[in-house]
Structure 1
């Protein structure tokens, strides 16, 4: 295979700049910073020293590290940006795009820093970070049941603002309060109400984006194709998403949560097998996430076993839930004492692992749970895994060591929406999504290699049980193992390797949108949408 040039769409002067920067030229780096700051000042007519952080700035490291959510990418050997820009106004975003193009440097766009592979804040070529965390305004209008939310807001902040205005409204998005709205929505983020209401992007009704020319576009001015693309195709391929307008959903005054555990010693295999039949088909008000983890047995000392944990949200009261599960999932043996009734906002806190009684103010904390080392992968299951298949998986999990699974059931509203309605195609036909999950506390090259090898080994073992042609993956569970683009002459083919997994039959439409709105491929990352111009 021929190695393609990583920067074919930039002119020769930029390639010289890259070469000089990569080989270390402090004076040149200073010059780039000076030129960028001067350009930014000219474009905005503002004093920009308070929003631009070069590597010599005393606050550079703290600003950089504040939104690194995977400790694997917070080491001295990881490439650092030349500059971090933290816009306070939309005009600052426009100017950053214009000036980055003018001096010829890559932009990485970060809203919350939760992308699993760190591609919003690392790069192998000189780059700047456009960090959106200051653009976090949220305006909730209960009368119209809508909200405008800026890309730098977190999900926790969004839920809090909705709760301030109404106790019977919510929004169907993720369970992590510190996740940034920009990346979550543009990548088709989901949460524990997806079976009732679908994905977050199924409720996006307008948006604002800064395009490659530095212009702010809304739904009307960007057109249907671009609006479609940024509702699940990953906004960073097409521009800088400033904000989304969303429809809120109505939630009951009382919801119910429960968490139960089963081990291999007490019928976990039967429960997991039956869960596959029940979780995607049961009442769409009920979401039952299942976590599978290799743990030390309490019955057989020194031996490993598998723990199956089911965590659930039911949009209704406990008595009704127990009745439903007694009929449809008796193997679980759910009892009323296993259930807790609460308000929707309290369930948000419960799912985020806060203690009962915690104030919703906790959702405004952006620094929860300091970053740990992690690796994630994803798959989709379309046919029930038989019991002998599950028993083989248990053996492999115990052999591998530490890697666990998270099973997220589909069905309900997910089966009612067409695969082409948004770029996110994984709807009808999928029983559940699989997340491969391993987290560790201590850094080190050998530790990282070991855990990543474990994850890949389990992923390989699962091949017979998951989707095929393509073996699909979820964009918001970024995984560079499934393909990387070097943006040379084979850019389209490289893009299709991962693009067909993330987007299935929607990939080529995304390529056409990309080609129309960003023909020179200015907005790009390791797994962005390529343009047709580079197709071999």
Structure 2
């Protein structure tokens, strides 16, 4: 890792800063980037700090960008990227940032759908990025007899694929309930809740977190006891980058059978896809907890993708009873280990090697835009007939329906910040794709118009959304006197968190009243009046 000379780097930074000062908000004008960098260099190995003057600065900044739509020539660049490899480096970044009024953006895997973990939309904001990809250790406890299962400490920069691989290689009878995409960083995923194929049996990822180590707004490293139960509640589903920087998580692992069954069953419109889909809305959320069957709709085809924690010989008669409309037979079954099923759901290839889960590949060839909804009342068959023409308009557009119900529906909405529990039939993720060489106007128009059209069929007041599918179109923070306002945050916050939003804002006020950890959709502090962060800095 090569970094240019400090003198040259500082000159470039100071030159950049002078441009930022022109017409910048008062908070940016008080920032001291020179002092911030000097502070960092006194506390963090210089080889872990990449300033804009470094030859490989752009490569490091782009190293875990998953959506090039958000990484263009006019994207605001941070003062530097701190590639932390120890919790002490994170502490130093926070303390230096607080002392010199430089805000931090924090990323683990880079899947943030709006890129707020590494870019700022605030004109003139002086910020740095703390990249946790170097904090990626996974340590599984040796006590296999632990009840209900052993635990693992996993650092926030580890990917889901690395977590799954390490756990299953340690003991193939163990797993962890989280998302499908293996390159997602656990830090952001856990922070937003974490839905996945095991959630109907074991709950969300956040439901299975027992402890955490967090660098708070004062730069202190605290665990669950030291941070207190309110803050521990908030970080398990309240969204990343709000209350501090979680550097590691203690996860309660779950026990899975030696053989599980997976399948992809595809139905076209000519094969009665709409009838099967209409029925799935009632069946998917009410199937036995050991079955998760999600739906992928693209073009004029519907794919029913399922995981069963058991053998095909048990699954066929079960679905024959609960869901005969699907027409599932033993020929559809793919029996495998749980770890192999993780690879299958990512690649759709039952022969793909499990070692592929360790690939932290990044591609900048495809742009995407995502949105989300929740459905609490089944959409009628005739309404689906009106919906399907939208998929003919954009062959690259798709939606994914994730059934709820099961164990996740038995957990109170206030147990974690994730409120979409009892009564939810399924979540919808909307995705539009386009190649990096295109301006994306047609694709973004399609997803925006389709989302508006779907408003009549989904939840209302609020129209619910999933914070891990972050969408700036539903609202951005309003900042007054350098602090995000509660009323401004409610516009988007109650869509993600419903009645839990106020409690999250109260926790924010206690943990970070000066709003140091702030982005365009960060939790605002619930204060009687606006504070200036300088009051705490002294």
TM-score calculated relative to the size of structure 1: 0.90
2:359 corresponding residue in structure 1: 365
Equivalent residue runs for 1:325-474 within 5 Å = 325-353=319-347, 355-367=349-361, 372-399=366-393, 402-444=396-438, 447-474=439-466
2:7 corresponding residue in structure 1: none
Residues of 2 paired with 1:426 and 1:19: CA distance? Answer: 46
> Per the alignment, do residues 521 and 104 of structure 1 end up closer, same or farther by CA in structure 2, a change over 3 Å counting?
same
Matched, 1:129 2:129: yes
> Per the alignment, do residues 524 and 534 of structure 1 end up closer, same or farther by CA in structure 2, a change over 3 Å counting?
farther
Residues of 2 paired with 1:354 and 1:269: CA distance? Answer: 23
1:187 corresponding residue in structure 2: 192
Q: Deviations over 1:494-535 (max 9, x none)?
A: 100111000000000000000001010000111010012376
SS of the residue 1:279 aligns to: helix
Picking from 41, 48, 56, the partner of 2:53 is 56
Deviation of 1:77 (Å):
1.6
Equivalent residue runs for 1:91-170 within 5 Å = 91-124=88-121, 125-143=125-143, 144=146, 145-170=150-175
1:300 corresponding residue in structure 2: none
Residues of 1 paired with 2:492 and 2:529: CA distance? Answer: 15
Segments of 5+ residues of structure 2 without an aligned counterpart are: 1-15, 531-538
Q: Deviations over 1:219-260 (max 9, x none)?
A: 000001000000000241100111110100000000001001
How well do the aligned residues superpose, as a CA RMSD in angstroms?
2.2
Matched, 1:210 2:215: yes
Residues of 2 paired with 1:210 and 1:513: CA distance? Answer: 15
Residues of 2 paired with 1:509 and 1:18: CA distance? Answer: 37
Equivalent residue runs for 1:510-521 within 5 Å = 510-521=504-515
> Per the alignment, do residues 518 and 534 of structure 1 end up closer, same or farther by CA in structure 2, a change over 3 Å counting?
same
Segments of 5+ residues of structure 1 without an aligned counterpart are: 1-16, 295-305
2:523 corresponding residue in structure 1: 529
Residues of 1 paired with 2:55 and 2:23: CA distance? Answer: 20
Equivalent residue runs for 1:57-72 within 5 Å = 57-72=54-69
> Per the alignment, do residues 34 and 354 of structure 1 end up closer, same or farther by CA in structure 2, a change over 3 Å counting?
farther
1:317 corresponding residue in structure 2: 311
Deviation of 1:85 (Å):
0.5
Deviation of 1:273 (Å):
0.5
1:268 corresponding residue in structure 2: 273
> Per the alignment, do residues 367 and 186 of structure 1 end up closer, same or farther by CA in structure 2, a change over 3 Å counting?
same
Picking from 485, 491, 495, the partner of 2:477 is 485
8 Å CA contact 2:64–2:362 kept in 1: the answer is: no
Q: Deviations over 1:132-169 (max 9, x none)?
A: 01011111014140000011111011011101210110
> Per the alignment, do residues 427 and 535 of structure 1 end up closer, same or farther by CA in structure 2, a change over 3 Å counting?
farther
Deviation of 1:368 (Å):
5.6
Residues of 2 paired with 1:237 and 1:119: CA distance? Answer: 12
8 Å CA contact 1:71–1:371 kept in 2: the answer is: yes
Q: Deviations over 1:263-308 (max 9, x none)?
A: 11110110110111111001111111101112xxxxxxxxxxx110
SS of the residue 1:50 aligns to: helix
> Per the alignment, do residues 458 and 493 of structure 1 end up closer, same or farther by CA in structure 2, a change over 3 Å counting?
same
SS of the residue 2:427 aligns to: strand
TM-score calculated relative to the size of structure 2: 0.90
Deviation of 1:401 (Å):
5.7
Residues of 2 paired with 1:253 and 1:62: CA distance? Answer: 42
Matched, 1:500 2:499: no
1:9 corresponding residue in structure 2: none
> Per the alignment, do residues 534 and 129 of structure 1 end up closer, same or farther by CA in structure 2, a change over 3 Å counting?
farther
Q: Deviations over 1:337-380 (max 9, x none)?
A: 11110001111111110633333222111116555200100000
Matched, 1:21 2:15: no
State the number of aligned residues.
Answer: 502
2:39 corresponding residue in structure 1: 39
8 Å CA contact 2:289–2:407 kept in 1: the answer is: yes
